[in-house]
Amino acid sequence: MSEKLINKVKVKNSMGLHTRPATAIVKLLQNSKSNVYFTHKKDTINAKSILSILMLAAGKNSSITITVDGEDASTTMANLVSAFENKFDEN
C-alpha cells in the first residue's frame, strides 16, 4: 500500500547540503521503493539525485520540505528525518 508523507526539516550542517551530506542522502535512499522529493524555496527536486540536491544550494538553517510517496514511505521518512537531525554524522 502506498502512502504520501510530508515533513519539514532544518539543515543543521555548518556548510549546508554540500557533497558529503548529499552523498549520504543518496546512499540512504538507494534501496527505497518510494519517490522522494525535497523542496527548498521554489525548487522541488528528486532527492535520489546527488546533482539535484547540490543544485538546491541549501545552506545552514535552510528549511527543506521532504515529500515521500510510496510503499516504504514511513521508514524512508524516519531515516531521512533522523539523518538531518544527526547532521549526517558531521561534528
The predicted structure's pLDDT at residue 67: 98
Q: Which CATH architecture has domain 3-89?
A: 2-Layer Sandwich (3.30)
The predicted structure's pLDDT at residue 2: 85
In the chain, the N- to C-terminal Cα span, in Å, equals: 38
| Confidence band of 70 (pLDDT split at 50, 70, 90) | very high
Q: Enter the pTM of the model.
A: 0.95
**pLDDT tens by residue, 17-34:** 999 999 999 999 999 999
Domain range list for the chain: 3-89
Active-site residue set: 18
Amino acid at 42: K
